[in-house]
Amino acid sequence: MKQLTIDFDRIRDIALRGIRRTSVFMGLGVNAARDDRLKEYQLTDLMMLRVMPDNVDDQTLAGFKTAFHQWIISNGLRELVETFATFLDQVHKVCLFIARSKGKVSDSERKAYGREFEKKGLENKLNSLRRGFSVFTSREKYFNSINKARNCITHRQGKVGPKDLKDQDAFRLVWLGLEVYAETPSGEKHSLMPPFPREGIILEGGGKVKVSVIERVTEYKLGDTIAFSPNDLGEICLLFLMATDDISKSALEYVKNMGIEIQDCAKL
């Protein structure tokens, strides 16, 4: 009997590589947009290839950098969403292949379901994996919100329109973040998240440093502009990382439950 090896580490790395690229590229871009010393905007030294005049005024340059900031975030979120979607496509392909090998679906059904899955949006991909194979992340609801924010930034320059509200009073952008704080013996909490006070934080009675995962919620009304801080973007990258681990682990559980031998799962 022909043996087929499925490398889950390589499949998982599709999402991980997208997360790493997004983190680095958004970091480079956002930091450049926020750096007052960076004023070079011409693409080339060849005059005949330039489409912008030299020596624009400070207000125009600030406008360039504001638009660049949004452009970087839009492209970063797009890469996060699209590489994660490609990762889900591969997970679905593996689950379908195993279901076919166990007689759960026919070969024609496997091909049809695969084509249908690739056309779905992120939210529906997650729904299909959960319903069809019990492959899921408990953080599923956040991806719909983040994807909608990405669409708004991409198509409406971040300005919330009727399409974003869908008969609601406000668009709710939701994701998971980290809260790092020092807690004193009396229960008083002092945030250790940046920006830090210049004079530092002094706890006269001592305390413990704690980390908790919390839900971030920001509401935007019609006409508001969606904005992310560097910390927000870092937390969103971490959210995708946690969801990648959830999906990978539950996919391995599906494989095991189907009676497939698994080797070296220590990395997960």
The answer as to whether 157 is a domain residue is yes
- Together in a domain, 149 and 97: yes
Q: What pLDDT is stored for residue 3 in this prediction?
A: 64
Burial tier of 71 (Cβ tally within 10 Å: 0-12, 13-18, 19+)? middle
| Residues contacting 160, CB < 8 A, separation 6+ | 152, 171, 220, 221, 222, 223, 224, 225, 226
The answer as to whether 263 is a domain residue is no
Q: What pLDDT is stored for residue 264 in this prediction?
A: 61
| 261 φ/ψ angles, rounded to the nearest 5 degrees | -75, 135
Q: What pLDDT is stored for residue 268 in this prediction?
A: 44
- Together in a domain, 17 and 30: yes
* Stated pTM of the model: 0.84
- Radius of gyration (Cα) for the chain, nearest Å? 23
| Residues contacting 40, CB < 8 A, separation 6+ | none
| Least-confidence region, from 49-63, 191-205, 237-251 | 191-205
| Inter-residue contact 251 to 91 (CB < 8 Å) | yes
- Together in a domain, 225 and 214: no
- Together in a domain, 26 and 118: yes
Q: What is the mean pLDDT of the chain?
A: 88
The answer as to whether 62 is a domain residue is yes
The answer as to whether 267 is a domain residue is no
Q: What pLDDT is stored for residue 52 in this prediction?
A: 82
pLDDT digits (tens, 9 = 90+) for 125-159: 999 999 999 999 999 999 999 989 988 988 898 99
* Number of folded domains that form the chain: 2
Tokens for 71, please give them. Answer: 């452009």
The answer as to whether 262 is a domain residue is no
- Together in a domain, 62 and 143: yes
* Separation CA 35–CA 37 (nearest Å): 5
- Together in a domain, 32 and 103: yes
Question: Which residue segment(s) compose the domain that 203 sits in?
Answer: 171-219
pLDDT digits (tens, 9 = 90+) for 33-67: 999 998 888 887 777 777 788 888 999 999 999 88
Sheet of 208-220: strand order equals: 189-191, 171-183, 208-220
Tokens for 240, please give them. Answer: 């995708």
* Separation CA 29–CA 230 (nearest Å): 11
- Together in a domain, 197 and 232: no
The answer as to whether 126 is a domain residue is yes
- Together in a domain, 96 and 215: no
The answer as to whether 207 is a domain residue is yes
- Together in a domain, 116 and 200: no
- Together in a domain, 89 and 213: no
**What is the band of 201 on the pLDDT scale with cuts at 50, 70, 90?**
confident
- Together in a domain, 63 and 141: yes
Q: What pLDDT is stored for residue 183 in this prediction?
A: 86
The answer as to whether 195 is a domain residue is yes
Q: What pLDDT is stored for residue 266 in this prediction?
A: 46
- Together in a domain, 234 and 131: yes
pLDDT at 74 over 50: yes
* Separation CA 83–CA 15 (nearest Å): 6
Cα dihedral 48/54/59/62 (nearest 10) = 70
Q: What pLDDT is stored for residue 186 in this prediction?
A: 82
Q: What pLDDT is stored for residue 1 in this prediction?
A: 46
